[in-house]
Structure 1
């Protein structure tokens, strides 16, 4: 309460939120897009930089307010009018300056509390109405007005630069224009018919990324970026599909085709083209040769995605219609036998199970971390401006570690040779980090185990770095990440899963087992994961073996995972494993249902002969795609 002139007590206005955290004030200043020197010139000489676009964002107004508030020579009443004048802005007469500044402070406080600093890029609403008649200085220079957005213009994609797109994005926000209107009305009037409107999400992401990049650049790089012609976002490049055949002699590639639309119909057309190409290699003149070849396709193996499921159904119908034409005495065959002959055995790629387990585990880790972290921040996020989106902090740490020290490290920031030297000189060991390129299966689990093993080796490396190299962003982030016990526990949990689940599973898939012998392994996997999601202690205590035929390898990584650790990390590891096991159980129940009790391939002894040549994974086409990827990069 405060005393009025009459002596009565009156209620004080809502207290403005003060940020004693100077680091956050620096973050807000960085978001404003102005340098510290530019702010100083504005406050002392009322001078504005060339990149000023006339749009007063919340971040910029808060930066100015914060500087004045913490100055011994400045005041709101004396300095804000000339500052607004220099910015060519007039405070709306109905707006109280103190009330406006308190509102801005509350907005900034909420942004800090909810970790949504990107909201500070929005224009202060009290000033937005002054710009409805123009879009921005760059657009005005090119005679692009709000009116012309609703009618055809003489502009082309080459006449639009990044600065104009950024202004259009701000105008869209301040005028409450929907993205649907941008796509359906603005886009056709901005671009020629050669540039058909991409999906709304593509436009939104593209424009948002341009705005964010503009905030990160300064001086000449910023000027060059703004003047660069706008690059229209295009549809994703064409994809590729490959067909292979497994016979008694082994697995061979039949074709590799590009494909613009991945659908059941397009895949069926590619299948027909593949068979026709094979027939052309045979000089026999037989009009039914394609159908005869089709009839020999009895088994398929896919990743069971929705497109492939629809494709197998379509392929099965085409094949069923072809069988009567190429099978002798078809009419005399029993209906049950006809059904058996017409049915395609669509088997599931075992390695894609591991791939899906990776995604389910990462999703579980993200949710677990969000609950465990009191303020939602982990590792580097507590000390620096960093947004990891929906990515798990554990997965981000592992990926960053590999970017810095892995076999295919970052070209500019990587320290792989230094790391190898430290390992050889101080620890007499080698790096266990693996490349992500060309290795899709099990890598997040294996690298999590490797990073947990190398965490102390990283500290040895850091102690040998000079002050300049200590400023490496990867180094600074990893120092913070590897001090967070939640991240360490998540990493350890992923490493334990690698040792006890995914690596033995990969070994089983790569063995010489018959494809139908996998059902007993999948069944045991399903049962054990169900047990471990209730009590993961056997995993934490290293007192269990998933597959006796494929036991964990007791190497130095295994030893590191089971070394004595703090009680808190031990408890957090159990929690992380329990949460991850729930997700893995859902994945296994869905993906290999056909191999579990009650499933089509469970104990299917009658199918062993006709599935004899079937592999247990789709590794062969994965290798073909890897080769194609390498060729495309070199071309």
Structure 2
């Protein structure tokens, strides 16, 4: 029954595509249980969205992704050909001619995937065809997070160098909590959300106690919105900062664990809270309004108007961020997406109590890094950018396109929910159920006449076993591709081992020519003493060979090349001294 519903939904998708003038193909990938999965969706010029399900993939390179997309579309052609008696090749040409754009995230392979897809369309239908390649605008926020992390990291390093540790790092009991990969401010934001927010740390958290104490908590889940969670968390923590301090220090908690104590130490640190305050201001006036923008009805063709406001604000603030700190300036966009709130007032009230010079320096650094990312990732929306100066024909093709690829994210949300309910269902079964529900195939079938319904069910019974077989073959193809990759990796490893043996052998022969390899300080000293009249080039080349021998044959991986004096010191650090000897100081400029 599920397989038959899968077939009927394919007919529904094809009818929608054929009735549309322009189609955008969305694709997104994820991994579950160490298995890579790609999902496809179609958005049509009339506003409809069709979900095409999930397919397994061995590796997400451009050619593999292209083959997957074409195979998903090919299933639609074949099924609809049985229903309509239209030639499969003609259906393919018709559908490809309607695909005017692709939308993906910013994964490395996607740009090549877009180019290959366009080349395929040109080869099939001919003519001067353009398939526009669109990036998901929501992923720009991930770039902003990285930019702000870079800026904050530099600020923290400078502060620690001049004034000492920050937050919990001042206390010896947290010495084992140190994490070199995470900056202190971001650690505060994450741990505070884990112990106080929903879906947090069930073992070390105190969510229920906090909610009872606070009554109405604004602390978000750190697992929810990965695009905006750092900025949103900063705003919520600043909003609740006084209550958080009271909650942890007034004895309300009977036996707080180390994680709770670490959050308490961090929120008492004025420097960390000043940085968090700047991130909160960034949320209220930049990333929060931007998130509302990408989730609104604003279309891709209108985005350049908002980009000008964003770019202009960051440009001004990179030189003078006082506007960002101004309570009267609400946000970067001059429309209904921005409004003052209780949180807005609370954050500005906290900012007024901080060192204004320090806040200005932080905001300036944040805006400078954010501007670099903005102009790199959204370059096509600059005044001379591609999407700013589109032809009227291109604008018509993209008028239906949304700003984000979040339909792929929501599709995988359904996938995770289905896994929690049906652990052992096949990927094909999940795709069928997901698509049938999402595009409301039962309503589509209900709108058909009795004869059409009878014909659809007949085709569904015929095609269902074939589609199930095709999807099994796709699984087998994926497994075979993985096996081929395993063999390729194995061959590469063997080739590398052979190459390493040859390299070690050659290095051994080279160092033997000058009396090496050296095994002690004394041998190295004797070599330098006996060859002090030789040229600097001769000595440098031979010491380089010794360094390479120690690195690739002996295994001292941290050795590196440098000046002659530096390399001699590197060798001395790793060579075993056989017996005491008099150290000589050589003047390498005289050698």
Q: TM-score range by the shorter chain?
A: 0.5 to 0.7
* More RCO (CA 8 Å, sep 6+): 2
Contact 2:78–2:88 under 8 Å retained in 1:
no
Name the CA shift for 1:405/1:609 in 2 (closer, same or farther; >3 Å).
same
* Shift of residue 604, structure 1, vs aligned partner: 2.2
Structure 1: tracts of 5 or more residues without a match:
1-234, 325-337, 425-429
319, 323, 342: which one aligns with 1:538:
323
Task: Report the equivalent of 1:410.
Answer: 201
Tell me whether 1:294 sits opposite 2:81 in the alignment. Answer: no
Contact 1:438–1:626 under 8 Å retained in 2:
no
* Shift of residue 567, structure 1, vs aligned partner: 6.0
* Shift of residue 632, structure 1, vs aligned partner: 3.7
* Cα displacement string for residues 475-523 of structure 1 (whole angstroms, at most 9, x for unaligned residues): 2101211122221111111110111011111222222223211101112
Pick which of 370-379 and 485-494 moved more. Answer: 370-379
* Shift of residue 620, structure 1, vs aligned partner: 0.9
51, 60, 64: which one aligns with 1:266:
64
SS at match of 1:631: helix
Alpha-carbon distance in structure 1 between the residues aligned to 2:379 and 2:253: 56
Pick which of 523-532 and 491-500 moved more. Answer: 523-532
Contact 1:509–1:617 under 8 Å retained in 2:
yes
Tell me whether 1:382 sits opposite 2:185 in the alignment. Answer: no
Alpha-carbon distance in structure 2 between the residues aligned to 1:287 and 1:251: 23
245, 255, 261: which one aligns with 2:42:
245
Task: Report the equivalent of 2:264.
Answer: 479
Name the CA shift for 1:564/1:317 in 2 (closer, same or farther; >3 Å).
closer
479, 488, 492: which one aligns with 2:273:
488
Q: Which has the higher helix share?
A: 2
* Cα displacement string for residues 496-551 of structure 1 (whole angstroms, at most 9, x for unaligned residues): 01110111112222222232111011122112101101111111122433111145
Task: Report the equivalent of 1:323.
Answer: 125
Alpha-carbon distance in structure 1 between the residues aligned to 2:76 and 2:62: 21
413, 417, 423: which one aligns with 1:630:
417
Alpha-carbon distance in structure 2 between the residues aligned to 1:633 and 1:359: 32
SS at match of 2:418: helix
CA RMSD of aligned residues (A): 2.1
Structure 2: tracts of 5 or more residues without a match:
1-31, 424-591
* Cα displacement string for residues 198-221 of structure 1 (whole angstroms, at most 9, x for unaligned residues): xxxxxxxxxxxxxxxxxxxxxxxx
SS at match of 1:298: strand
Tell me whether 1:617 sits opposite 2:418 in the alignment. Answer: no
Pick which of 591-600 and 358-367 moved more. Answer: 358-367
Name the CA shift for 1:564/1:355 in 2 (closer, same or farther; >3 Å).
closer
TM-score using structure 2 length: 0.61
Name the CA shift for 1:629/1:527 in 2 (closer, same or farther; >3 Å).
same
Task: Report the equivalent of 2:530.
Answer: none
Alpha-carbon distance in structure 1 between the residues aligned to 2:362 and 2:241: 19
Contact 2:274–2:351 under 8 Å retained in 1:
no
Show the 5 A alignment for 1:129-208: none
366, 374, 380: which one aligns with 2:153:
366
SS at match of 1:608: helix
* Shift of residue 389, structure 1, vs aligned partner: 1.3
Alpha-carbon distance in structure 1 between the residues aligned to 2:402 and 2:119: 24
SS at match of 1:255: strand
Contact 2:300–2:401 under 8 Å retained in 1:
yes
Alpha-carbon distance in structure 1 between the residues aligned to 2:154 and 2:221: 27
Number of residue pairs matched?
380
SS at match of 1:600: coil
Name the CA shift for 1:275/1:368 in 2 (closer, same or farther; >3 Å).
same
